[in-house]
Structures are given as C-alpha cells and as structure tokens.
Amino acid sequence: MKHAVPMTLWQSGVLDLLLGVHCAGCEQPGERWCAECDQTVRPDPVEVDSEVWAAGLWRGRLRKAILAWKLDGVESLDQVLGLHLACAIIASGPPESFVIVPIPTTWRSRRERGRHAVLDVAKVAAETLSMDGYRTSVEPAISLRRQTRDQAFLTARMRAANVRGSMVAKRPPIGPVIIVDDIVTTGSTLAEARRALEIAGAWVHASATIASSPR
Ligand SMILES: [Zn+2]
C-alpha cells in the first residue's frame, strides 16, 4: 500500500547525501532513530475495531518513521517498529503460545522494496515477545491468489471489493493466530486475511498493526 504524500527531501535521499544519516522522526543528523524520538514515540495501543489492535495512531513522528521505513526502505527501523508491533500484540491479550501471520506482500511492493518488510518486522516482534516469555513463531501462511490494486486512492467500499477473495491459506498454522500488518485503515485487508485463515480451519485470536490511520 502506498500513500499519497509529497516527495520530501528525506525521501529523495538528498538530505542523506548532504548531511549524512539523519533521524526518520525529527530529521536531526546523527542516527536513523534518535534517542529523543525513542523517548517521545512510545507505543500507546488502541483497539481500532473488535479484535484489531494498533500500537499507535498514524501521525507525528511515528507516521514519519513508518513512511521512511515503507517508502525509503530504511531497514534499520525494523527494530523500533517491531517493538511497537509487539506492544500491539500484547494489547490484544494473546495466549501464551501463538503464531504470527503477516499479511502477504504484493509483487509490486516486493519489487519496490526488495523484501517483505512486514514479515521482517513481524520477526523482530516475535523475538521481543519470546524474550517476554511468549512461545511464538512467524509463519507467512497466507498467499495472494491474485494481485490487488494499490489501495491508497480507493474508498472503503472499493478497498473491500479490491481485496475480497484475494488471499488463500494453503497450510494454516496449528494453534491461535495473530495476523499482523503495518497500517490498518478500513480493516478490509485484515478481514480478508482472517477470512482466508478461517476457511482453511485456523483460529484467529486477533490482528495487530504498528499504526492506525483514520478512515
Ligand atoms: Zn529523532
């Protein structure tokens, strides 16, 4: 999913060339994620919908960090965003043992980003949760049956139609599942993932995302 945002200096990489590495949250030079942003942007989970949790709202420095991670492929932000995702998962009241299933990536997104970024962040979240005593693993159990359109400019109804029937879970995980994605907007992508898993016989406990964007 791409977002309709103007090209910033950050995104163009010009600032990187001129000033060296700088913070995705506040653009101060030095590190990709500075100590001040780390202190300011703390996970503050919200229940977006029944059984859908987000670690925070799509605004401010968290929004900037996710944009840098999504659009510029700043992989070093996997760590901080994975921590946020772990907090959203904990907010859902997970069982002691569960499987994390990331939303499948489209070929368009994989080509643009060169990786399945949500899967990588899910792995960081799983490591964090394991250290917290949960027994969890990441299984990319859902695949796309067909490619979907870019959701950015679609209405809620169009989004639902765009993703309906697009996913399949051929080998559903054993045990409770928590579906994860980066951003929840209308919830149609998460609902489709849940449908695919449940048809295959899986039990979905909840869904969790890094941020929740207004509809
Ligand atoms: Zn900063």
CA angle (210 as vertex; 195, 99 as ends), nearest 5: 50
Cα of 170 to ligand 1 centre, how many Å? 42
pLDDT above 70 covers what percent of the chain? Answer: 91
Domains of the chain with bracketed CATH: 42-212 (3.40.50)
Cα of 41 to ligand 1 centre, how many Å? 9
Q: Is the pLDDT of residue 11 over 60?
A: no
Residues with CB under 5 A from ligand 1 (ion): 23, 25-26, 34, 37
Cα of 11 to ligand 1 centre, how many Å? 16
User: What is the token pair recorded at 195?
Assistant: 């449908």
Partnered with residue 136 across adjacent β-strands are 98
Q: What is the pLDDT of residues 27-73, one digit of tens each?
A: 998 889 999 999 999 999 999 998 999 999 999 999 999 999 988 88
How far is Cα 56 from Cα 113, in angstroms, rounded to an integer?
23
- 58 Cβ contact partners less than 8 Å away, ≥ 6 residues apart: 66, 183, 211, 212, 213, 214
What is the mean predicted confidence (pLDDT) over 117-129?
Answer: 97
pLDDT at 146: 83
